[in-house]
Amino acid sequence: MAIFTKPENAFKRADELINVGQKQDALQVLHGVITSKSYRSWQKSHEQIMFRFVELCVELRSGQFAKDGLIQYRNACQQVNISSFEEVFKHYLHLATKKVEQARSKADALEEESLDVDDLEADKKPEDLQLSIVSGEKGKDRSDRELVTPWLKFLWETYRTLLEILRNNSKLEALYAMTAHKAFQFCKQYKRRKEFRRLCEMIRNHLVNLNKYKDQRDRPDLTAPESLQLYLDTRFEQLKVSTELGLWQEAFRSAEDIYGLMCMVNKTPKSSLLVVYYSKLTEIFWNSSSHLYHAYAWFKLFGLQKNFNKNLNQKYLQLIASSVVLAALSVPPYGRFHGASHLELENEKELNLRMSNLIEFNLEPKFKGKDMLSRASLLSELVSRGVLSCATQEVKDLYHVLEHEFHPLDLGSKIKPLLDRISKLGGKLSSAPSLQDVQLSQYIPSLEKIATLKLLQQVSKIYQTITIKNVAQLVPFFDFSAVETISVDAVRNNFVAMKVDHMKGVVLFGNLSIESDGLKDPLTIFAETMNKVRAMLFPAPSKASKLGEIVPNLGETVGNEHKILLARKLIIEKRKEEQERQLLEMECEEEQRRLKLLKLTAEAEQKRLATELEERRRQRIVREIEERELEEAKALLEETEKRQTKGKKRTLFDGEKLTKQTVMERAMSDKRKEDQEMEKKLRKLAITMDYLERAKREEASPLIEAAYQQRLVEEIKIYEREQQREVELCKERHESDLMEKNRLARPRMLDNKEVFQERVICLRQVEFDMLRTEKEERIGQIIRARKEERDIKRKRIYHLNSEEERINKLREEEEARKREETEKRRKEEVERKAKLDEMAEKQRQRERELEEKKRLRRETLLKPTDTFPARSLEPTVAATASAIAHSQSPAKYVPKFRRS
């Protein structure tokens, strides 16, 4: 196979091979040029080559060639023009999908042709009978296996190859998500369950490798909102398709994938996605007979719909609440691991942890004993959070009968009509399109089983022995064989103690244990009743008067404490809000810094890539010029050597470099010499040819004249003979035409002609009138439609302008309000600052006065008194005391001459 240095030449050669039917050779030519070194830098012509290349790959079902070519083209376009790769990629995927659809259409057409038979009572052909016996297949299966299956395999391999090419590349994230969605739809459309499992495993491995190789170039950043949304959409589509295909184990793994992805980025998805998540969990747990987890999933779904779905009306909310309550009541009232080993208990503990994390969606799970999921805790939450109050009246009555009432003999008769009415409830949640159809009838079998267990438990509390016939009458849902099967499971899990004696036809009940709930409940009720009796006989004395005597101002004190606590709560809330605002500002600043750094990095990377691209382009141009000149020199040298004779052949580049100029100079000199020699030979040959031609013409002239005269005589005879025959033929045709004219000129023929002519003209006139009427009606409809469209457009423009004016007005009012609030806060800050300054100045003045008083007192006490006479001691002491008293008064200044 030839190697082409220019892709354009390879493209032309491939077209030539395709035109002559050699498509495999054309594919190899294009594959060779795509994988060559000249294809590493993107050019505009490469896109056309890739389009032709992928068309040939699809037509010949050559997946390996397509994979090599797309990888090479991705590397060439990744830093320059990624949109070109996307167009080629989409074209390739479109062609593969189109081939499968064409194969299916062809197979369906063959099936229809096989049904189009002339005689339905005719026997089959011998070859059809032999083929059916040997193959054992029907006609439809055989045509599908021959026509559709190869293209399905090729399309599946195409999806696998494309996902491997696009994986873990930040610039091809959207294309990867689109391909994954189409692959899911392919598995859904053609019911390819095994391929769907392989596809899910492949996508999981891609995410594992993404986290494993974190230093990979062009690695997607899952913390970015766009990337995270694409990955989430892919996994939610995987969850939806797995439930539609009935692959519940794969659906559960898909739910775990979503939870793992959220744990990886430490973010909780939006409420709309959580609704889809819990909706699919309800289907998964119901089909896996995990009633407890099914009920918890419905409970979470109810909370989301009630809090975030504003379009949910009371009817649909009541339907969802009824589903939650019925799902909780359908949970068996006993555990499945009574008397289990330590290993089984540990496994159950781990399972509960996984389920609680999936249902509660805790991104940082911390297992606690009180967090264990159970039927009793779920029912208590339903009552405390008001779910039961939102349910229908039938569901409320069923809850009270099963959980709070004791009717051992008529429990079945009370529950039976309630279940009949509940089975008719249900419908489509039109305001919640992500939810499936809610049909309460699916809970009826489980509720009948739970009612049977409750009835057996209540009967065991009042009877020790009861006949089998009476038990069958008490349970209207099942016959006694089904009741016996249910009781076996209950006895095994220590829910009820009973034995069935078929020989005597009785059922024997016994006590579970001394500390069982059946023994504790009557004792507890008896103790509570006795406490009430004692309280009625000996009422407790009132303590209000004593308390009032002990604490006289208790009400006022409690009120003050309450106000202090409220003020403290407001302060704490304000501090929390301020802290949250600061954290939000810090996150915004961090995000801006990160975006700025990413922008600078991207600009630097673009500059570097542009410089490298320009340098590679320049080197490539220089290299191509040198290679082209070298090839032209070699070709010129070979051509020159071919033209030379053996005697004159010599080496043209001995001791010097082989260049195009040297070869051309040598070739031109040789060519001039050859031209001179050839010119001499031609002159000699021309003289010889002139002489020979003249001699031939002189000899041939009399022979030509004789042949001409003979030919002229023969042609005259032929002309006369042909002329005579033509005249005879014309006479015969004229006579036959006259006879035909006379035959057609009869009155009967003319009347028929006129009738036929009138009929044709009338039919054409009617058709013309009908077409004209239709055209006028169509034109009228178009005019009316355009008029309505113009009216709608004017109304829409008017409403848009009105809405824009309203929004602008609201924005201006909001800005004015913000300015007023800002000005008000500024004035309050100025006033508060002025008050603080005034208080500080007063404090400083008071401190100065106190210092002055202390100094005066110290001087008075330290002044010597031994020079004064004894008689003057008392006045001095009195004066000192007076000075001290004056100095201690805060509002009066004592002069220095008065202090002594």
What confidence tens digit (pLDDT) does each residue in 536-591 have?
Answer: 887 765 544 444 454 556 667 777 888 888 888 888 888 888 888 888 888 888 88
In which residue are the tokens 């896996």 written?
A: 288
Q: What is the pLDDT of residue 813?
A: 92
Higher pLDDT, 655 or 328: 328
265: which residues sit within 8 A by CB, 6+ positions away? Answer: 222, 223, 228
Q: What is the pLDDT of residue 584?
A: 84
What SS3 string covers 607-673?
HHHHHHHHHHHHHHHHHHHHHHHHHHHHHHHHHHHHHCCCCCCCCCCCCCCCCHHHHHHHHHHHHHH
**Both tokens of residue 180?**
């994954």
pLDDT higher than threshold 50 for residue 517:
no
Range among 392-406, 686-700, 760-774 rated most confident: 760-774
User: Cα–Cα distance between 743 and 749 in angstroms, integer?
Assistant: 9
Nearest to 41 by CA among 79, 2, 98, 11: 79
CB count within 10 Å of CB 403 equals 14
- For residue 657, what pLDDT band results from cuts at 50, 70 and 90? low
In which residue are the tokens 């580049």 written?
A: 653
What confidence tens digit (pLDDT) does each residue in 138-191 have?
Answer: 444 555 556 778 888 888 888 988 888 888 888 888 889 999 999 999 999 888
Q: Work out the average pLDDT over 590-618.
A: 85
User: Cα–Cα distance between 617 and 620 in angstroms, integer?
Assistant: 5
Question: How many C-alpha atoms does 693 have within 13 Å on its Cβ side?
Answer: 6
**Both tokens of residue 329?**
């009541």
- For residue 631, what pLDDT band results from cuts at 50, 70 and 90? confident
Q: Would you call 798 exposed, middle or buried from its count of C-beta atoms within 10 A (0-12, 13-18, 19+)?
A: exposed
- For residue 798, what pLDDT band results from cuts at 50, 70 and 90? very high
User: Cα–Cα distance between 699 and 676 in angstroms, integer?
Assistant: 36
H helices present in 167-224, as ranges: 173-189, 193-212
| Amino acid in the structure at residue 587 | E
Cross-strand pairs, 427: 438
The 3-state DSSP class for residue 499 equals strand
Instruction: Output the DSSP codes for 714-762.
Output: HHHHHHHHHHHHHHHHHHHHHHHHHHHHHHHTSHHHHHHHHHHHHHHHH
Report the Cα–Cα distance between both ends of the chain, in Å, rounded. Answer: 130
The average confidence (pLDDT) of the chain is 79
Q: What is the pLDDT of residue 4?
A: 61
- For residue 868, what pLDDT band results from cuts at 50, 70 and 90? very low
Range among 3-17, 128-142, 677-691 rated most confident: 677-691
Listed range (105-119, 322-336, 686-700) with the worst mean pLDDT: 105-119
Helices (H) and strands (E) in the chain, counts: 29, 5
What SS3 string covers 437-467?
CEEHHHHHHHHHHHHHHHHHHHHHHHCCEEE
Percentage of the chain with pLDDT > 90?
A: 13
Q: What is the pLDDT of residue 800?
A: 92
pTM of the model: 0.55
User: Cα–Cα distance between 147 and 110 in angstroms, integer?
Assistant: 10
User: Cα–Cα distance between 390 and 16 in angstroms, integer?
Assistant: 76
User: What ranges make up the beta strands (E) of 495-618?
Assistant: 498-501, 506-509
Residue 499 sits at φ, ψ, to 5 deg, of -135, 150
User: Cα–Cα distance between 848 and 554 in angstroms, integer?
Assistant: 44
Q: Work out the average pLDDT over 35-41.
A: 62
Cross-strand pairs, 507: 466, 500
Q: What is the pLDDT of residue 116?
A: 43
User: Cα–Cα distance between 137 and 19 in angstroms, integer?
Assistant: 39
Nearest to 432 by CA among 306, 551, 291: 306
| Amino acid in the structure at residue 605 | E
pLDDT higher than threshold 70 for residue 514:
no
Question: How many C-alpha atoms does 313 have within 13 Å on its Cβ side?
Answer: 5
What confidence tens digit (pLDDT) does each residue in 369-381 have?
Answer: 444 678 888 888 8
**Cα–Cα–Cα angle for 700, 706, 710, rounded to 5 degrees:** 140
Q: What is the pLDDT of residue 570?
A: 85
pLDDT higher than threshold 50 for residue 877:
no
Q: What is the pLDDT of residue 463?
A: 86
Higher pLDDT, 96 or 43: 96
What confidence tens digit (pLDDT) does each residue in 396-448 have?
Answer: 998 998 888 888 888 888 888 888 888 888 766 654 455 667 788 888 899 99
- For residue 768, what pLDDT band results from cuts at 50, 70 and 90? very high
pLDDT higher than threshold 70 for residue 355:
yes
Listed range (95-99, 437-441, 713-717, 861-865) with the worst mean pLDDT: 861-865
pLDDT higher than threshold 90 for residue 780:
yes
- For residue 126, what pLDDT band results from cuts at 50, 70 and 90? low
pLDDT higher than threshold 90 for residue 461:
no
User: Cα–Cα distance between 471 and 480 in angstroms, integer?
Assistant: 8
User: Cα–Cα distance between 428 and 319 in angstroms, integer?
Assistant: 10
**Both tokens of residue 103?**
């194969």
Q: Would you call 235 exposed, middle or buried from its count of C-beta atoms within 10 A (0-12, 13-18, 19+)?
A: buried
The 3-state DSSP class for residue 427 equals strand
Q: Work out the average pLDDT over 133-140.
A: 47
Q: What is the pLDDT of residue 778?
A: 93
User: Cα–Cα distance between 826 and 752 in angstroms, integer?
Assistant: 110
The 3-state DSSP class for residue 704 equals helix
Q: How far does Cα 584 stand from its chain's mean position?
A: 29
Instruction: Report which secondary-structure segment, H or E, holds 854.
Output: helix 747-862
297: which residues sit within 8 A by CB, 6+ positions away? Answer: 278, 281, 282, 285, 359
Q: What is the Rg, in whole angstroms, of the alpha carbon atoms belonging to the chain?
A: 52
User: Cα–Cα distance between 196 and 188 in angstroms, integer?
Assistant: 8
What SS3 string covers 100-163?
HHHHHHHHHHHHHHHHCCCCCCCCCCHHHHHHHHHHCCCHHHHHHHHHHHHHHHHHHHHHHHHH
What confidence tens digit (pLDDT) does each residue in 214-252 have?
Answer: 767 777 878 888 888 888 889 889 999 998 888 888 988
Cross-strand pairs, 426: 439
Residue 466 sits at φ, ψ, to 5 deg, of -150, 145
Q: Work out the average pLDDT over 81-96.
A: 84
Nearest to 58 by CA among 143, 146, 155, 186: 155
**Both tokens of residue 801?**
């302008």
Strands 465-467 and 426-427 come out as unpaired
The 3-state DSSP class for residue 851 equals helix
- For residue 726, what pLDDT band results from cuts at 50, 70 and 90? very high
Q: What is the pLDDT of residue 142?
A: 52
Q: What is the pLDDT of residue 805?
A: 92
pLDDT higher than threshold 60 for residue 367:
no
The alpha carbon torsion through 96, 97, 98, 103 (nearest 10 deg) reads 90
pLDDT higher than threshold 90 for residue 783:
yes
DSSP label of 122: S
User: Cα–Cα distance between 663 and 644 in angstroms, integer?
Assistant: 14
Range among 168-172, 260-264, 390-394 rated most confident: 390-394
CB count within 10 Å of CB 652 equals 18
Q: Work out the average pLDDT over 306-317.
A: 78
